[in-house]
Amino acid sequence: MKKKTITVIISAVSALVLIGVLLIIAFTGAKVQETPSSEPDTTSSDLTVFEILTNDENTSVTNGSETTDNETGEYESGPDLIIDDPTDEPDQGDVLTIPDETFPALPEETVTSESAKTPVKPIDEKTPTDDGDVTTSGGLVIGDKPEPYDCGTPGHHCDGPETHAYVMNLEKEGCPYCGKHDCPSFYATDEWGNTCYTPSKCPKYDVHKDPVYYCQTCGKKCGDGSHGTCVQFVNACNCPMCGEWVESWTCHTCK
């Protein structure tokens, strides 16, 4: 009798345990089916992670509850990631802007009908002629036309105060050939009409007494020492013609 009772109790307990297990399994399966999948459904038309709305004026990126507005440049608070639109322009407040360099417009030359019809008069080129007047013999003249110099002494042809002083010294010393103080050689002129002292114009001129042509020390014709001529050197040196040593201011004739 006791064995039957124990068997019935064990069977009842086993049945209760089995029923409890079945109930637990039943409730656990229902909860698993109601739990959404952790992976996002990429085939759904509604984006659950990122939602990008693009239009002509505003571009906003939404991640959960966060939105960026390009017009205001402000962000709404939210814990999720923010993605800016690459087309957004940066704030120009701290950027130095250089204006385009502009140049003033050049005035355009206007050609009137009268100026176009009027021909330009050609320039006549004239060759200067020698008319005996030194002031009209050509050359560049700046300013007013200079007046010719006049020393006021009859017979003089001085072209300036320096020439006049030179002639006055000749008259004071006298001519070395005739001894006169008004020798015609003092008042000779060159091809331009200016005063040019010419000893050959003296009536008593002697070429052998002219130091330009003959040495007044030895009487030989002046030259380079060759062919019987005489030469004098300012400094002592070797003669460049014969190589002989010659003292300064000494007559030398090559041998």
Are 197 and 221 part of one and the same domain?
no
Do the domain assignments include residue 228? yes
Do the domain assignments include residue 166? yes
Are 199 and 221 part of one and the same domain?
no
Do the domain assignments include residue 37? no
**Domain final residue pick, 205, 228, 245:** 205
Do the domain assignments include residue 224? yes
pLDDT digits (tens, 9 = 90+) for 156-179: 989 899 999 999 999 999 999 999
Helix (H, G, I), strand (E, B) or coil at 245: strand
Per-residue pLDDT band for 9 (boundaries 50, 70, 90) equals confident
Do the domain assignments include residue 63? yes
Residue range(s) defining the domain that contains residue 169:
157-205
Are 223 and 254 part of one and the same domain?
yes
Question: Amino acid identity of 30?
Answer: A
Given a cut of 50, whether residue 94 has pLDDT beyond it is: yes
Do the domain assignments include residue 7? no
Task: Report the pLDDT value the prediction gives residue 131, as an integer from 0 to 100.
Answer: 58
Per-residue pLDDT band for 70 (boundaries 50, 70, 90) equals very low
Tokens 């064995």, residue located: 3
Distance CA 60, CA 45 (A): 18
Do the domain assignments include residue 139? no
Do the domain assignments include residue 11? no
State how many domains the chain has: 3
Per-residue pLDDT band for 60 (boundaries 50, 70, 90) equals very low
Q: How many other CB atoms are found less than 10 A from the CB of residue 252?
A: 20
Residue 77 is encoded by which pair of tokens? Answer: 């608070």
The rounded mean pLDDT for the chain is 74
Of the given ranges (15-19, 96-100, 151-155), which has the lowest mean pLDDT? 96-100
